[in-house]
């Protein structure tokens, strides 16, 4: 199985900050990576697929980059509604695997 190592596991930030979360795959996965946002008690929400394609209706302050084994999710100007847990997920091969998650908390 492809292992996805996500970092950091948590971070504290303030509204307006630029935030970067990274995922590293244990082998190359081309651009077969998605990013999700999850708020407490809610289902995950798709933010980005194909490593850098923004899902419809997702604010442009979210962006993704990377290919192969190293990927990044960037929130350019953190808003109050962005405090949540973020997961990356590979769909290059089975089993589909997720990163461990990054909890973005208010500083």
Q: Is 78 left (phi over 0), alpha (psi -120 to 50) or beta?
A: beta
| Chosen residue from 16, 57, 80, 94 binding another protein by CB under 8 A | 94
CB of 79 to another protein, least distance (A): 22
From 104, 100, 98, 45, select the one nearest 74 (Cα to Cα). 104
Q: Is 49 in the site for another protein (CB under 8 A)?
A: yes
Helix, strand, coil share (%) of the chain residues, nearest 5: 5, 50, 50
Count the residues in the chain.
Answer: 107
Tell me, residue by residue from 53 to 92, as one string, x for binding to another protein by CB under 8 A and - for no binding: x-x-------------------------------x-x-x-
The C-alpha atoms of residue 39 and residue 86 are separated, in whole angstroms, by: 9
The answer to the question of residue 26 lying near another protein (CB under 8 A) is no
Name the token pair of 90: 């590979």
- The stretch near another protein (CB under 8 A) out of 13-21, 27-35, 64-72, 73-81 is 27-35
Interaction site with another protein (CB under 8 A): 1, 31-32, 34, 36, 38, 42-46, 49-50, 53, 55, 87, 89, 91, 94-101
């Amino acid at each position: 199985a492809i292992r996805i190592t996500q970092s950091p596991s948590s971070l504290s930030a303030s509204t307006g900050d630029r935030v970067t979360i990274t995922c590293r795959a244990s082998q190359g996965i081309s651009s077969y990576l998605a990013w999700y946002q999850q708020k407490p008690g809610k289902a995950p929400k798709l933010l980005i697929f194909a490593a850098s394609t923004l899902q419809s209706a997702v604010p442009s302050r979210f962006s993704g980059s990377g290919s192969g084994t190293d990927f990044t999710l960037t929130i350019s100007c953190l808003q109050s509604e962005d405090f949540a847990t973020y997961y990356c997920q590979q769909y290059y091969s089975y089993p589909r695997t997720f990163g461990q998650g990054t909890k973005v908390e208010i500083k």
